[in-house]
Amino acid sequence: MTLSREVAVIGIGQTKFGEIWHKSFREIGIEAGLRAIQDAGIESSKVDSIYIGNMSAGLFLDQEHVASMIAEEVGLTKDSVPATRVEAADASGGLAFRQAILDISSGMSDIVVVGGAEKMSDVTSQIATYFTAAGADQSWESLFGATIPSLYALMARKHMHDFGTTREQLGLVSVKNHRNGSLNPDAQFQKEITLEQVLKAGPVSTPLGVFDCAPISDGAAAIVLAELDLARELCTNPIKVSGTGQGSDSLSIANRTELTGLKATRAASKRAYEMAGINPSEISVAEVHDSCTIGEIMAIEDLGFFEKGDGGPATERGDTSLEGIISINTSGGLKARGHPLGATGIAQINEIVLQLRGMAGKRQVKDPLYGLAQNVGGTGGTVIVHILEAI
Amino acid sequence: MTLSREVAVIGIGQTKFGEIWHKSFREIGIEAGLRAIQDAGIESSKVDSIYIGNMSAGLFLDQEHVASMIAEEVGLTKDSVPATRVEAADASGGLAFRQAILDISSGMSDIVVVGGAEKMSDVTSQIATYFTAAGADQSWESLFGATIPSLYALMARKHMHDFGTTREQLGLVSVKNHRNGSLNPDAQFQKEITLEQVLKAGPVSTPLGVFDCAPISDGAAAIVLAELDLARELCTNPIKVSGTGQGSDSLSIANRTELTGLKATRAASKRAYEMAGINPSEISVAEVHDSCTIGEIMAIEDLGFFEKGDGGPATERGDTSLEGIISINTSGGLKARGHPLGATGIAQINEIVLQLRGMAGKRQVKDPLYGLAQNVGGTGGTVIVHILEAI
């Protein structure tokens, strides 16, 4: 399948991620949206439609229908600009980005603003953990007390059993991502940590501890997209969307035939690589979904960066560091940048855009040509993969 | 704006609407989806992607990420078929239909299944009313006790004040829709009612009574869409999507400049009429969003079927009946067919397809060429309008 019209990113913006108690959902949504519009240097009256990725303002804030709310706050309801919310658990941001691409490609819009936002800290951590598990299967998993980390813990154990992945290798994912986060002024955690700290941290669901799991976060991120020819006119450094892929799998892990990888990642990335016409080896920098450390190890295998079973050793060898063969989660990843569910997929794209623009500051990778973002919903019921290209 | 590729409906299916206590959300979703696939006469392996319109499985069932769940149950995760949930309160169904059109038009898919589903009866009526108000503005309206009917009641009072619309005219909307519903075997209520019954019914929010407000419902509906040329190959009676329009407005009615009509309806329908290249007078049959009776009166004015202020008198004259100038809500509308929030927009399209196919049984309108569906989110923060054409 090919797109009827091609698309590029012309502006990005986001809030700092963290516990943002002094701002509301709508305030962080506006902040990110206006920054992206400002970065694109366009009048907001040029915006043809908006998309919002949000997992559950319903559960967290008793508020559905958030796309119209954000459109109003940014001043876009004046012209009744179409505003659409999409949801696929914590893949909602990546999904919103994809829908915005399809909207432009369909011919309905020339310029689209796409945002992702989540406000998780208005409830207790325990309740936030329960709400997040609404991205797993309620009838078969969450109702019986399973949380997202406990389901990933099962996958981690099986990966360790089948491939000899070690507890230390899992921990080194977190050490690397905290190091990267220390170089990102928008990250929730900007402190380096040691492997010893990871191993000594309290357990969440064995073998995963506190430092293996992404935090509870508030935050919003936004992007302005334009049809490719228009993007070249409007902006000196457009970043082209070369590939988009989406895949699904059963919501509950009980219904899957494997536990050591995500079928939906392989399907989504195959589609994205085919559209972009490139191989995994051509990717210089990637943001992957490390909601738990095992998630990153499975991702770098399923995306074809390393052989199955080599994700742990590759991490230990430093192949995924800023100086490695392929730099993974230069932003700090979900673990250190923070993981406001619906915002994550958009923040991933923003990091790739910064890297491809050569504007990632202290965490800049040398001359990247292609970057990839992989966003997972729940434990893999949905996976979205995008490939971006410096042109 | 024009679509890069044109689209047609090739199959429809739905469950009966009502209080479906013996079936789960996923069961009604499968039932509707499989019926639509069967009606289209295609193999499910031909489906390129699916869209689900759902307002709040999060609040009603503690379950987000429902698109992947339904995809799994219909057997589509086997090939990792992309599955996307969209939400705009009770306009979620219409919005899902629009996103499916954009997907095909973008070139990413040739055949798409789009469904709408809601399971509301697993909680009490009071809680369902509160959850439904998550489609209004939580911070400015719902938190203070406003419900969707109470906000529509304010609009009804103002409409009565400004245009002389009478309590009886509101009631006659419900009488007509119950009469139509009595001819629809899938409707939640298949009994005729009298104006006297409407006027004597208990108040919900004055001037609106029990018979002025759509019920709490469970139900699902689904559609198979295909690229137009492919649709002609696959099916003998494809129904073309001639126009699609989406509009937004402020979520809270306090922030609007008018109370007697919906700006988003006018914007969405203007876009749809322009795309279809037709005038309102060319529409023979329309499904409009009568979540409260005043909603239908405002809709038939905002859609250009009648002059502003003539919606009430037109209803009284019988102009909107099955035998009238333009037949409105031949299915029974939200009031009598039932209103499972996310399913409503899809059920509206299904009714228009039945009418354009000439297969609407006892409620068939004579030789319609164009039909229109108008789906409203909350009190008008989002409105989606589609125009379908018999070809």
Q: How do residues A200-214 score in pLDDT, each as one tens digit?
A: 999 999 999 999 999
Give residue A142's pLDDT.
93
Please report whether residue A32 resides in a domain.
yes
Give residue B1's pLDDT.
74
Residue B116 has pLDDT above 90, yes or no: yes
Q: What is the pLDDT of residues A230-282, one digit of tens each?
A: 999 999 999 999 999 999 999 999 999 999 999 999 999 999 999 999 999 99
Residue B2's pLDDT band, with cuts at 50, 70 and 90, is confident
Residue A2's pLDDT band, with cuts at 50, 70 and 90, is confident
Q: For residues A160 and A157, what is the distance between their CA atoms, to the nearest angstrom?
A: 5
Instruction: Inspect the interface and report whether the beta carbons of A248 and B378 lie closer than 8 Å.
Output: no
A207 and A323 co-located in one domain: yes
The domain spanning residue B188 has which CATH number? 3.40.47.10
Q: Which residue of B has its CA nearest to A141?
A: B63
B178 and B202 co-located in one domain: yes
H helices within A117-202, ranges in order?
125-132, 148-163, 167-181, 195-200
Instruction: Inspect the interface and report whether the beta carbons of A381 and B85 lie closer than 8 Å.
Output: no
Q: Are strands A218-227 and A111-119 parallel, antiparallel or unpaired?
A: antiparallel
Give residue B352's pLDDT.
98
Name every chain A residue with its beta carbon within 8 A of the beta carbon of B89.
Answer: 64-65
Q: Which residues contact A242 (CB under 8 A, 6 or more apart)?
A: A275, A276, A277, A278, A370, A387, A388, A389
B261 and B323 co-located in one domain: yes
Name every chain B residue with its beta carbon within 8 A of the beta carbon of A68.
Answer: 88, 248-251, 377-378, 381-382
Name every chain A residue with its beta carbon within 8 A of the beta carbon of B2.
Answer: 107
Please report whether residue B1 resides in a domain.
no
Q: Is the ipTM of this complex over 0.95?
A: yes
Question: Which of A352, A350, A295, A285 is CA-nearest to residue A324?
Answer: A285
DSSP conformation letters of B298-311: HHHHHTTSS-TT-H
Name every chain B residue with its beta carbon within 8 A of the beta carbon of A29.
Answer: none
Question: Which of B8, B10, B3 is CA-nearest to residue B102?
Answer: B3
DSSP conformation letters of B55-75: S-HHHHHS---HHHHHHHHTT
A231 and A93 co-located in one domain: yes
Residue A112 has pLDDT above 80, yes or no: yes
Residue B359's pLDDT band, with cuts at 50, 70 and 90, is very high
Name every chain B residue with its beta carbon within 8 A of the beta carbon of A100.
Answer: none
Please report whether residue A2 resides in a domain.
no
The residue of B64, B228, B241, B251 whose CB has the most chain A CBs within 10 angstroms, and thus the best one to mutate to test that interface, is B64
CB A228 within 8 A of CB A206: no
Query: What does DSSP assign to residue B33?
Result: H
Write the residue in A87, A105, A138 that is nearest to B62 by C-beta. A138
Instruction: Inspect the interface and report whether the beta carbons of A72 and B109 lie closer than 8 Å.
Output: no
A182 and A282 co-located in one domain: yes
Q: Which residues contact A207 (CB under 8 A, 6 or more apart)?
A: A153, A156, A157, A160, A167, A170
Please report whether residue B116 resides in a domain.
yes
Helix (H) or strand (E) holding B233: helix B228-234
A178 and A307 co-located in one domain: yes
Instruction: Inspect the interface and report whether the beta carbons of A249 and B77 lie closer than 8 Å.
Output: yes
Please report whether residue A313 resides in a domain.
yes
pTM of this structure = 0.98
Residue type, A80: S
B75 and B135 co-located in one domain: no
Residue B219 has pLDDT above 90, yes or no: yes
Please report whether residue B146 resides in a domain.
yes
Write the residue in A65, A95, A244 that is nearest to B89 by C-beta. A65
Residue A1 has pLDDT above 90, yes or no: no
B142 and B45 co-located in one domain: no
Q: Which residue of B has its CA nearest to A255?
A: B72
A155 and A33 co-located in one domain: no
B132 and B63 co-located in one domain: no
Total domains, chain B: 2
Q: B56: distance to nearest CA of chain A, Å?
A: 7
Instruction: Give the range of the structural domain holding residue A361, as residue numbers without chain letter.
Output: 126-215+243-390
Name every chain A residue with its beta carbon within 8 A of the beta carbon of B81.
Answer: 248
A103 and A234 co-located in one domain: yes
Round the average pLDDT of chain B to a whole number and report it.
97
The residue of A52, A55, A61, A106 whose CB has the most chain B CBs within 10 angstroms, and thus the best one to mutate to test that interface, is A106
Write down which residue in A174, A207, A239 finishes a domain: A239
Q: Which residue of B has its CA nearest to A7?
A: B106
Name every chain A residue with its beta carbon within 8 A of the beta carbon of B379.
Answer: none
Mean pLDDT of all residues in A126-151: 95
B232 and B360 co-located in one domain: no
Round the average pLDDT of chain A to a whole number and report it.
97
